[in-house]
Amino acid sequence: MQKNMGSVDRIVRVIAALAVGVLFFIGEISGLAAIVLGILAAVFLMTSAMGSCPLYIPLKLNTIGKEKQK
């Protein structure tokens, strides 16, 4: 899969996922909200690790700068 996420995009996703984890462990979110946000956080971590977001493909989005694309 072709990479379509820049470093800033990846860092923001990791920070958001960590924030959800912290909110869950301190008890600020629970129930259905915790499940939905937990799944979203897992997706954010996976896409950040891969450097590619499947949702960006049909939307033709790319957050990698033009000078770094190959």
The per-residue pLDDT string of the chain (70 residues; one tens digit each, 9 = 90 and over) reads: 789 999 999 999 999 999 999 999 999 999 999 999 999 999 999 999 999 999 999 999 999 986 565 5
pTM (2 decimals)? 0.85
Domain annotation covers residue 44 = yes
Domain annotation covers residue 36 = yes
DSSP for 8-27?
HHHHHHHHHHHHHHHHHHTT
Domain annotation covers residue 19 = yes
Domain annotation covers residue 28 = yes
Of 56, 66, 65, the residue nearest 1 (C-alpha): 56
Domain annotation covers residue 69 = no
The dihedrals phi and psi of 34, each to the nearest 5 degrees, come to: -65, -40
Domain annotation covers residue 2 = no
Q: Estimate the crossing angle of helix 31-50 against helix 7-25, to 10 degrees.
A: 150
Number of Cβ within a 10 Å radius of residue 27: 8
Domain annotation covers residue 45 = yes
What range defines the domain where residue 50 resides?
7-61
Q: How many domains does the chain have?
A: 1
